[in-house]
């Protein structure tokens, strides 16, 4: 068996996923070279997954689950490992988000749930300086895009997202990348369980201009509020406080464009961008 690198926490979800990958490969009697040839994944990449040094995209675990006929084991371990990419203060929120039946969200920028992979990578790589930073960015991209599977699960949660117009007026530098992002927003807005609204500049100043707000409701009726802003985040569980945030969100929703007009607004911005 390959030894775990010294800088990998053997009790982490990523290490557990790596051990499972190595066990399944060795049980199948394959070398890393043989596995690489049969799956078309690079040998060094597969080694790093087994060593717990990298977190793959969800699709890779789905491929390997099919290859090993492991019944979704790798996907389940990947979901646990994915949460560890986020800082401790996000972990409880990340635990609650995938099981929420109802989600209401307001963001000043393009929310991670609706970002394309390229835009996610650019937004996460602003502080990148070294090769190690680049690896961390890729893991964060994987984790962020991996969250989006909840929009397509069955049954899908009821999701309402309000985006400030500011997000639509601050494009990335690559024109094609931004075109794809705006198109992706329109496509997401047409999902049967997703409602997207735009809060236009014309709505004036509002009480959430310094951050974002997410409200989650679980199947058992419990709810939480999660706020981010000015470099800090807070998960609110006290029922009275959650109710206040819900009313705050409702007031903002009343000032946003209705869903059909919001989709039209995004399409207009897309046409302006293309012209």
* pLDDT 10s digits, 24-39: 999 999 999 999 999 9
Q: Using an 8 Å Cβ cutoff, are 8 and 52 in contact?
A: yes
Average pLDDT value for the chain:
89
The sign of the dihedral angle between the CA atoms of 214, 182, 148, 135 is: negative
Number of helices (H) and strands (E), helices first, in the chain?
12, 6
Q: What CATH number did the domain enclosing 33 receive?
A: 1.10.260.40
177 and 249: one domain? yes
Q: What is the DSSP letter of 5?
A: P
**Quick one: pLDDT at residue 80?**
87
**Quick one: pLDDT at residue 93?**
86
> Among residues 149, 191, 121, which one has the least CA distance to residue 62?
149
- Residue 232 burial by CB count (10 A; 0-12/13-18/19+): exposed, middle or buried? exposed
* Domain hosting residue 17, numbered range: 13-83
Residue that finishes a domain, picked among 59, 83, 107? 83
pLDDT confidence bin for 4, thresholds 50/70/90:
very low
Least confident of 138-147, 170-179, 244-253: 138-147
C-alpha span between 5 and 48 (Å, rounded): 10
Q: How many CB atoms lie within 10 A of CB 48?
A: 17
59 and 77: one domain? yes
156 and 202: one domain? yes
Question: Long-range contacts of range 188-191, CB-CB < 8 Å, 24 or more positions apart?
Answer: 188/114, 188/151, 189/259, 189/262, 189/263, 189/266, 190/263, 191/151, 191/152, 191/156
Domain tally, the chain: 2
Q: What is the pTM of this model?
A: 0.72
Mean pLDDT of 243-266: 96
255 and 212: one domain? yes
Answer whether residue 167 is part of any domain: yes
103 and 22: one domain? no
pLDDT digits (tens, 9 = 90+) for 38-68: 999 999 999 999 998 888 888 999 999 999 9
**Quick one: pLDDT at residue 229?**
82
C-alpha span between 144 and 117 (Å, rounded): 9
Lookup: tokens for 175: 């024109």
33 and 136: one domain? no
> Among residues 191, 249, 188, 185, which one has the least CA distance to residue 216?
249
> Among residues 182, 183, 111, 194, which one has the least CA distance to residue 153?
194
**pLDDT reading at 196 higher than 90:** yes
Residue that finishes a domain, picked among 83, 106, 129? 83
Answer whether residue 4 is part of any domain: no
Residue that finishes a domain, picked among 51, 83, 115? 83
Q: How many CB atoms lie within 10 A of CB 154?
A: 4
**pLDDT reading at 87 higher than 70:** no
**pLDDT reading at 120 higher than 80:** yes
pLDDT confidence bin for 198, thresholds 50/70/90:
very high
pLDDT confidence bin for 86, thresholds 50/70/90:
low
């Amino acid at each position: 068996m390959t030894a775990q690198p010294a800088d990998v926490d053997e009790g982490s979800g990523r290490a557990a996923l790596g051990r499972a990958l190595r066990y399944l490969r060795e049980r199948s009697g394959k070398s890393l070279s043989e596995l690489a040839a049969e799956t078309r994944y690079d040998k060094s990449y597969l080694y790093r997954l087994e060593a717990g040094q990298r977190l793959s995209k969800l699709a890779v675990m789905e491929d390997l689950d099919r290859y090993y006929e492991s019944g979704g084991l790798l996907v389940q371990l990947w979901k646990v490992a994915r949460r560890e990419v986020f800082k401790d203060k996000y972990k409880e929120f990340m635990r609650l988000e995938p099981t929420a039946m109802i989600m209401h969200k307001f963001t000043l920028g393009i929310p991670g749930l609706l970002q394309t992979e390229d835009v996610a990578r650019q937004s996460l790589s602003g502080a990148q300086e070294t090769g190690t930073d680049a690896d961390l960015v890729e893991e964060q991209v994987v984790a962020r895009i991996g969250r989006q599977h909840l929009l397509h699960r069955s049954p899908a949660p009821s999701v309402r997202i309000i985006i400030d117009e500011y997000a639509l007026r601050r494009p990335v530098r690559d024109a094609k990348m931004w075109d794809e992002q705006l198109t992706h927003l329109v496509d997401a807005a047409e999902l049967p369980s997703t409602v997207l609204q735009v809060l236009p500049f014309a709505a004036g100043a509002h009480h959430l201009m310094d951050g974002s707000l997410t409200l989650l409701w679980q199947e058992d009726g419990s709810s939480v509020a999660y706020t981010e802003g000015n470099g800090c985040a807070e998960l609110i569980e006290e029922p009275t406080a959650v109710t206040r945030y819900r009313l705050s969100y409702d007031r903002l929703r009343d000032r946003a464009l209705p869903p059909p007009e919001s989709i039209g607004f995004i399409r207009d911005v897309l046409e302006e961008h293309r012209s």
